[in-house]
Amino acid sequence: MARYVVTGASSGIGREIALQLASAGYDVIAVGRDRERLEDLALRDRRIETFALDLRDRAALIAWASELADDDVTDGLINNAAIQHNVRFDDPGYGIDEIASEVETNLLAPMLLSRLLLPKRVGRPFVIVNVGTALARYPKTTSAVYSATKAGLRMFSDALALRCGASSVRVVDIVLPLVDTPMTSGRGSGKIGASEAATAILAAIEPGKTRIHVGKARLLRLLEVIAPPAAAAIIRRL
């Protein structure tokens, strides 16, 4: 049975992804920062193996992923973990550490994990799913760095998909609308649930498109073509 690595699995979308994968009979390596929540997650299904890791700790990330890569036993990577500070870039409480946290978690970690976990054996099927957002195309004033990291992740997905071409490695970019998670608590309306988002993301592990728009993000895709200013205005209100 296939085995998938899921980052940001302590809560929200990542937790739902891990649970749904396990329920479907897949083995899961669930990665997150909250050890207690991960332990609780592991108790939910024997197919879920957990590993407490702060993706901002580059040395620890590289050591763990390199060891996992040596065994060459993973069939896919779902880069779900993200940090968003919903403040203006010049907010007095938003400093260098916060900027670095967003860049390291949202963009650098997915790049490093993708590189380290690529299968060593030529021809071995592998899928990389990068969880993105409409903010990758239309940024908002209170999430400049988050928007930039998601734009970078989108470009990375496109570049990697181009590089992999017709090989056994597939790369999928997920464009999510606003999802009801701890990260979005207290803002926005009309959110979809984390479970619904996870279901859409898991559809990406099956062969198909390289970019999947979920829920209201499908409407934004249309507006990008016929009325880009309207799409930008919608995102700015989130």
**Count of residues in the chain:** 238
Catalytic residue among 120, 150, 191, 209: 150
Which of 37, 46, 115 shows the shortest CA–CA distance to 77?
115
The percent helix, strand, coil of the chain (3-state, each to 5) is 50, 20, 35
The reply to whether 4 belongs to the active site is: no
The reply to whether 146 belongs to the active site is: yes
- Pair 33, 54: CB distance under 8 Å: yes
Catalytic residue among 146, 191, 209, 216: 146
Alpha helices for 93-207 (secondary structure H): 96-103, 109-117, 144-164, 194-202
Beta bridge partners of 5: 29, 77
Q: Which amino acid is at 222?
A: L
Q: Which residue has the tokens 């779902």?
A: 78
Catalytic (active-site) positions: 146, 150
